[in-house]
Chain A
Amino acid sequence: MTESETTARTPLIRIEDLQKRFGSLQVLKGITENVYEGEKIVVIGPSGGGKSTFLRCLNCMEDPDGGSIFFEGVDLADLKVDINVHREHIGMVFQSFNLFSNKTVLENIMLAPLTIGTRRLRKESLRQGLRGYRKAKKELTDRVREEAMSLLKRIGLEEKADEYPSKLSGGQKQRIAIIRALAMHPKVMLFDEPTSALDPEMVGEVLDLIRKLADAGMTMIIVTHEMGFAREIADRVFFISDGVISEQGTPDEFFNHPRQERTRDFLSKVL
Chain B
Amino acid sequence: MPSLIADFAKKWEKFYHVFAESGGYREVLLGLRNTLLIAVLGLLIGILIGTLIAAVKVLPRYKRVTRFFQKVCDVYVAFFRGTPMVVQLLLGYYVLFPLLGISLPVLEVCIIVFGLNSGAYVSEIMRGGIQSVDPGQMEAGRALGLSFSVTMGKVVIPQAVKNILPTLGNEFITLIKETSIVNFIGATDLCVAFRYIGTNNYEFMVPYLVMAVIYIVLVLLITWGIRTMERRMKRSDRV
Residues of chain A having any CB pair with chain B under 8 Å:
59, 61, 84-92, 94, 96, 98-103, 111-112, 115-116, 164, 166-167, 177, 180-181, 184
Inter-chain CA distance A61–B145, complex, in Å, is 11
Given A85-B145, A112-B145, also A99-B150 (CB < 8 A): no
Given A61-B142, A102-B162, A181-B144, also A111-B154 (CB < 8 A): yes
Inter-chain CA distance A181–B137, complex, in Å, is 14
Inter-chain CA distance A116–B155, complex, in Å, is 15
Q: Tell me, yes or no, whether B134 is within 8 Å of chain A by CB.
A: yes
Given A96-B136, A166-B238, also A102-B146 (CB < 8 A): no
Count B interface residues, CB 8 Å: 22
A-B contact pairs, 30 of them (CB 8 A): A59-B143, A61-B139, A61-B143, A84-B145, A84-B146, A84-B147, A87-B145, A88-B144, A89-B145, A94-B140, A94-B143, A96-B134, A96-B136, A98-B137, A101-B137, A102-B155, A102-B158, A102-B162, A103-B155, A112-B144, A112-B145, A115-B146, A115-B150, A116-B145, A166-B237, A166-B238, A166-B239, A167-B239, A180-B144, A181-B144
Q: Tell me, yes or no, whether B159 is within 8 Å of chain A by CB.
A: yes
Q: Tell me, yes or no, whether B92 is within 8 Å of chain A by CB.
A: no
Inter-chain CA distance A94–B144, complex, in Å, is 12
Given A115-B154, A164-B236, A166-B237, also A100-B140 (CB < 8 A): yes
Contact with A along B172-214 (1 / 0, CB 8 A): 0000000000000000000000000000000000000000000
* A79 to B, closest residue via Cβ: B62
Residues of B within 8 A of A166 (CB): 237-239
Residues of chain B having any CB pair with chain A under 8 Å:
134, 136-137, 139-147, 150, 154-155, 158-159, 162, 236-239
CB distance from A195 to the nearest CB of B (A): 16
Is A101 a contact of B144 with CB atoms below 8 Å? no
Given A102-B155, A164-B237, also A88-B136 (CB < 8 A): no
CB distance from B72 to the nearest CB of A (A): 24
